Amino acid sequence: MPITGPSRAAVPAPVVSVAPPPELPAVAARFWRYVQIDTEADRDSTTTPSTAKQKDLGRLLARELAELGVADAEMDAHGYVYGSLPAAPGAPRLALLAHVDTSPDAPGGPVVPQLHRAYDGSVIRLPGDPEVALDPAVSPELAAHVGHDLISSDGTTLLGSDDKAGVAVIMQTVADLVADPELPRPALAICFTVDEEIGRGVDKIDLERLGADVAYTIDGGAVGTFSFETFNAAEATIRVRGVGVHPGYAKGVMANAATILSGILAALPAAETPEATSGREGYFFPHEIGGNVTAATARVLLRDFAADGLERRKRLVEELARGAAGAHPRADVEVEITDSYRNMREYIERTDPRAIAFAFAAAESLGIELTAELVRGGTDGSRLSEMGLPTPNVFTGGHDFHSRFEWNTVQNLEASLAYVKALVGYWARHGGEPA
């Protein structure tokens, strides 16, 4: 059931054990509170959300939106939080989205945030685990943030800037728009999604309820970066069924599934792996493998910015599997390929190119030089764009996501907030023009 009305008050607030330092600006104080709520996703779960604790933050956000005066704020049964701010009739309807879950690639909580005031460029050893350090030699972006007030975890967990920074920026945008009715805005839809980190961020989203013409995910990285191009993505599952027999009497009988599968993976191009590629270069990524003589399975991620490049990768995996089957007639080799998401650029440019043009124009109005950054991965916007809602991705200022080394800064959060408010204002002033 949706979390609405009196039921909001009946749900206890999540525990925030470390109060925000009083000198933090509002957006950073929100961020400080939100990161302390453990929302780690679970790849092995079959529920939505994959972990019930994601709803802890969802309930809080629905309640805070209602307290800000968002009359239709609520969380649905799947953990998605919706709300809206109306505008004059005929105004475009713009959506802002962020995801509440954090990656399972690093411990998700409890997060104990740390404030490192006026960073001086040195190595910072984190108090929860001195072996974890913010080191400019490892994270060169730190050198560009001397003088900033850094926020990290204590080193025992990730921070959760991906994407609680986006959540905080959207919530503060709503608060500022409500506090100042003179600020220009289009009709604004808000949505906080679940399970983005495990590729299910929009599986249960209600696009009709969102009702937007254009959307932005506030889920990017370095300040000044803007993303409207992602990989085309698929996953190949290779299964080999072999024949087991006593190894002393195996000649002419055994078909070793583990060896056959290893041969297929070894034949993938060595120069086309994640660790050997960058920029527009795609890759093959065997990320899971297991089995024995009689049965072995591997899951291989296929990534390419070009649609025909992804098809080439699919064909190669299928050809290698056929070759292995021919060389080992006693074995059974099969490949199942599942598409994950498509490069969102073609969908955005086809549906409403203003989603890109207005983003650069809004940055120019602030004196920011926006840089187009390729996403060597996917976002909720990848699938939303494919579903008909053009959704580029906006920076939050975070760095070193999915790790205990993750960090953001107070100043970066403020920069993201200023840009999102400028973007909303630009759509209010120009969104009535033809696409």
Q: Annotated catalytic residue: which of 38, 64, 74, 101?
A: 101
Give 349's contacts (C-beta < 8 A, 6+ positions apart): 356
Residue 367 DSSP SS3 = coil
Give 415's contacts (C-beta < 8 A, 6+ positions apart): 223, 368, 395, 397
- Nearest one of 327, 324, 330, 328 to 298, comparing CA atoms: 324
Distance of CA 302 to the CA centre of its chain: 18
DSSP state letter for 352: -
Give, in degrees to the nearest 5, the angle at Cα 9 between 6 and 13. 155
* Distances from the Cα of 28 to the Cα of 117, 144, 408, 414, angstroms: 13, 20, 10, 8
Other C-beta atoms within 10 Å of 327: how many?
Answer: 11
102, β-bridge pairs: 40
Could you tell me the two tokens for 365?
């109005």
Could you tell me the two tokens for 332?
């059974």
Q: Annotated catalytic residue: which of 56, 163, 195, 196?
A: 196
Instruction: Decide if 176 is catalytic.
Output: no
- Nearest one of 64, 63, 84, 74 to 11, comparing CA atoms: 63
**331 touches 296 (CB < 8 A):** no
Instruction: Decide if 182 is catalytic.
Output: no
So which residues are the catalytic ones?
101, 196
